[in-house]
Structure 1
Amino acid sequence: MSMQSVVKSITTTQILNKKGVEKITMLTAYDALMAKIFDGEVDMILVGDSLQMSFFGEQDTLSCTLDSMIYHTKAVCNGAKQSLVVCDMPFGSTSTPKLALESAIRVYKETKAQAIKLEVGFEGLETIEMLVQNGIAVMAHIGLKPQFVRSEGGYKVQGKTQDNVESLISLAQKIEQNGAFSILLEGVKAEAAKQIAQSAKIPIIGIGSGAGVDGQVLVWSDAFGFFEEFKPKFVRQYLKGAELLREGVREYVKDVKSGDFPSEQESY
């Protein structure tokens, strides 16, 4: 096997070095099949706790367990050999620095994920520091935090007031100082998000946070039209996935019922 044919994985260092050079791309995936399709096409694959909604059909992400995240992350790592895989830490798995470290060590031991993501405010800075000191690569998630949806009374766009913007900038800078390699910024007004990205030396990956950040992430089922209930404002649909698949299913049903499938060529 020549060295050229050895696939090089994207590392956290490479992601850091893209800041100010090129935009970073990220999609979610929850299984090996999708991960294999996205692998090498996007810089990073997020095994998001969003799977609790898009994969499992729940109303929010709160019931997702660490066991479930590890199961799906293993599957994604089996499919993705190039793109950097990030495992989302589910609600309740990082509520103290000690618990966060125990949870993250499990992720690292049981999967091949190269980083973990956790939703944080100022109270989470100590946790980030502890994880990084113990060899865990951290992506922090700030702005609109889905795991806080109940306590904050819904999904509320951030960055509307100067105080809130200054608070997010300060939080981003402290997250950087504590060693995170990147930040996921969700649901923040575009102008505020741009200021946050400019104030930090680590890449800011946006979702619903405008174009002035260092990269973008979307949930795959939103981006490719497999989730039909509603389309969030910040999503661009690149495929009518559900429609195409449904057409295929109907063709299959029609062929089976008419006796057209399987044909002689498709029989032993």
Structure 2
Amino acid sequence: MSTRTVAAPVVDVKRVTTQSLQEMKAAGIPIAMLTAYDYTTARILDRAGVDVLLVGDSASNVMAGHETTLPITLDHMIYHAQCVVRAVQRALVVVDLPFGSYQGNSKEALISAIRVMKEAGAHAVKLEGGEAVVPTVERIITAGIPVMGHLGLTPQSIYRFGTYKVRARDEQEAEQLRRDALLLQQAGCFALVLEKIPAVLAAEVTASLSIPTIGIGAGVHCDGQVLVTHDALGLTTDFNPRFVRRYARLDQVITDAVQAYIQDVRDRAFPSDEESY
């Protein structure tokens, strides 16, 4: 009932790489990152000029309807990443390693990361955690796979935290985060996501690192920002943390369009003679 869309070739597209992000930090150019889970959306975001596309385990929430990110599997993530990679001509594609695919041991983590790179054609992987995952990060990087870290609120640990509240408000946790950030940089991470931590702390950590930081609910002084695309475009509206800015209300646009279509069908106004063979 529909035709397959094919990405048109783009001439002289400069690929965003991990080195590009390093250069952007050095030049003071903020990095724009959004999530993507499918071919059509990824193609639009890539052509719009987004620097990094994150195939996030948030697909568990916005694509599959789960309450947390925990249920999504490595096979699911590889499928979503394959769809995104086929659409992209410019952006750096980073793929979350899902819960259970890297926490067991560094060998298991390496196998998971290799699958993501080989089967999906991704450019890098992302994993959550600080000091405890440093050996895992080092082992993955030794295999030539770029790793993005993730500190602060780490959704895969939600049942340990028991809440989605802001992390690292107290000095003990803030000091651990500072230490974790430096350890991840030393281990070879090319960038860090800082999620839902005080803006002052995020600014301090950003200034202390030579690698870029990407904030989500971490203030304006990170080297870049990331949002879940479904939140930013108003496709999901039941999730309303203060750090989400809705740049559109596509839920209403789609509702209006579908209702207009239904009415045209009911009225036999669609298809018209011009739309028929």
Q: Same fold (TM over 0.5)?
A: yes
The correspondence for 1:121, drawn from 130, 137, 153, is 130
User: Paired residue for 2:4?
Assistant: none
The correspondence for 1:13, drawn from 19, 25, 28, is 19
| 1:159 and 2:165 correspond | no
RMSD, aligned α-carbons: 1.1
Query: Which amino acid counterpart does residue 217 of structure 2 have in structure 1?
Result: G
Percent of aligned pairs sharing the same letter = 43
Mapped partners of 1:265, 1:52: distance in 2 = 42
| 1:250 and 2:254 correspond | no
Name stretches of at least 5 consecutive residues in structure 2 with no aligned partner: 1-9
| 1:219 and 2:224 correspond | no
| 1:189 and 2:189 correspond | no
Mapped partners of 2:245, 2:143: distance in 1 = 38
The correspondence for 2:32, drawn from 22, 25, 37, is 25
User: Paired residue for 1:52?
Assistant: 60
User: Paired residue for 2:45?
Assistant: 38
Deviation at 1:62, TM superposition (A): 0.3
Mapped partners of 2:82, 2:189: distance in 1 = 23
Mapped partners of 1:88, 1:165: distance in 2 = 24
How does the TM-score come out when normalised to structure 2? 0.94
CA distances 1:90-129 after superposition (whole Å, capped 9, x unpaired): 0010111111000001011101110000001210001111
The correspondence for 2:78, drawn from 54, 70, 84, is 70
Deviation at 1:49, TM superposition (A): 0.3
Mapped partners of 1:205, 1:161: distance in 2 = 22
How does the TM-score come out when normalised to structure 1? 0.97
User: Paired residue for 2:158?
Assistant: 149
User: Paired residue for 2:216?
Assistant: 207
SS class of match (2:44):
helix
Deviation at 1:6, TM superposition (A): 4.2
Deviation at 1:35, TM superposition (A): 0.3
Query: Which amino acid counterpart does residue 56 of structure 2 have in structure 1?
Result: G
Name stretches of at least 5 consecutive residues in structure 1 with no aligned partner: none
Deviation at 1:170, TM superposition (A): 1.2
* Aligned partners of 1:125 and 1:174 also within 8 Å: yes
Query: Which amino acid counterpart does residue 234 of structure 2 have in structure 1?
Result: G
* Aligned partners of 1:20 and 1:214 also within 8 Å: no
Query: Which amino acid counterpart does residue 202 of structure 2 have in structure 1?
Result: A
| 1:61 and 2:69 correspond | yes
Mapped partners of 1:199, 1:159: distance in 2 = 17
Higher mean displacement: 62-71 or 158-167? 158-167
* Aligned partners of 1:142 and 1:184 also within 8 Å: yes
